[in-house]
Amino acid sequence: MTLAAEQGAVEEVACAVCGGTDATRLFEKDGFPIVRCRGCGLVYVNPRLTPQALAGLYEGQEISPAAYYVRTARQDELSFAQRLALIERYHDPGTLLDLGCGPGTFSAVARSRGWHPVGLDVNSQSVAHCRDLGLEAICDVFPSPALSGRRFDVVVMNDFLEHLPDPGAALEAAGTLLAPGGVLFVTTPDVGSLMARLTGVRWLHLKPNEHLNYFDRRTIDRLLTRTGYRVKYLRAIGRVRNLAVALEKMRAYGELASTVARLLIPVRLAERINLPLNPGDEMVVIAAKAD
């Protein structure tokens, strides 16, 4: 039994896509079992931390700390400009809701391209950072009553859906906030990718206290269809990473590879190099409301 379980901070849950309760255990990581639904194939953490326990971790900066995102802001700006260029193939700049906005990097890039963004994040320090940038930001979980009655041309979920206890409810709520002709933009790790399958329990995105659900192309499509959407675009997406940060992340896959890389590349040089990387294990989905 893990410490969290002893403290009663964990709960058993059903599959977030099909509602099934029959699942195969894949492996255990950080004290949490990772299972695969026998009904639809969704991979998820079960049992997992309760929403209350998770909220404490976010507010304590133990998950998605604002400092990490400020450090990677320059690379994120480049990645987010690419994502916005993709969004703009489906909708001209208008109003945009940035769910899980963090310290506001995506919203700030959107604003520079003519969008009118509103951010939402559960982390009060991140929201304060957004406001320092002059951005409108709401500190709340989603769905939030602060958004009722508002409509957006685009609802953005960058690395957001996998964090939610009930992703289906969030997608339905997002649908009610979309203006006519609006689109939903989602990025999330792809557990069906070659990278995820090759690295198994060591896969970088496998973080059971923050990523509760792991989608692949089939399960994300199924959940979007169930919640009233039609998928228009679904593909692997990369991001620009600073080489120093990329090397740190490589440690998850083995100390040896990372040590060799660090010996070959001086840290100060690595910090000046930005690389477009696409290991194929994150996907982007653009969807519209089904008529």
Residue 216 three-state SS = coil
Among positions 132-171, residues that touch Zn ion (CB under 5 A) are none
When binding is defined by CB under 5 A, the residue of 4, 10, 42, 285 that contacts Zn ion is 42
Q: How many helical (H) and strand (E) elements, i.e. helices and strands, does the chain have? A: 12, 15
How many of the chain's residues bind Zn ion (CB under 5 A)?
8
Among positions 186-245, residues that touch Zn ion (CB under 5 A) are none
Piece of the chain touching Zn ion by CB under 5 A; list 36-44, 91-99, 186-194, 199-207: 36-44
Q: Which is nearer to Zn ion, 39 or 143 (CB)?
A: 39
Would you count residue 45 as binding Zn ion (CB under 5 A)? Answer: no
Would you count residue 18 as binding Zn ion (CB under 5 A)? Answer: yes
What backbone phi and psi angles, to 5 degrees, belong to 118?
Answer: -125, 130
Piece of the chain touching Zn ion by CB under 5 A; list 42-50, 155-163, 206-214, 259-267: 42-50
**Is the bond into 143 cis (omega within 30 degrees of 0)?**
yes
DSSP 7: T
When binding is defined by CB under 5 A, the residue of 4, 10, 34, 37 that contacts Zn ion is 37
- Which of 204, 211, 190 is CA-nearest to residue 251? 204
DSSP 252: G
Q: Which is nearer to Zn ion, 15 or 63 (CB)?
A: 15
Question: For residues 95 and 87, what is the distance between their CA atoms, to the nearest angstrom?
Answer: 12
Piece of the chain touching Zn ion by CB under 5 A; list 14-22, 93-101, 163-171, 224-232: 14-22
Task: Tell the residue number behind the tokens 């620009």, with chain if given.
Answer: 240
When binding is defined by CB under 5 A, the residue of 5, 7, 20, 260 that contacts Zn ion is 20
Residue 172 tokens, joined: 């339905």
Question: Is there a contact between 101 and 73 (Cβ–Cβ < 8 Å)?
Answer: no
When binding is defined by CB under 5 A, the residue of 40, 86, 204, 234 that contacts Zn ion is 40
> Site residues (CB under 5 A) for Zn ion?
15, 17-18, 20, 37, 39-40, 42
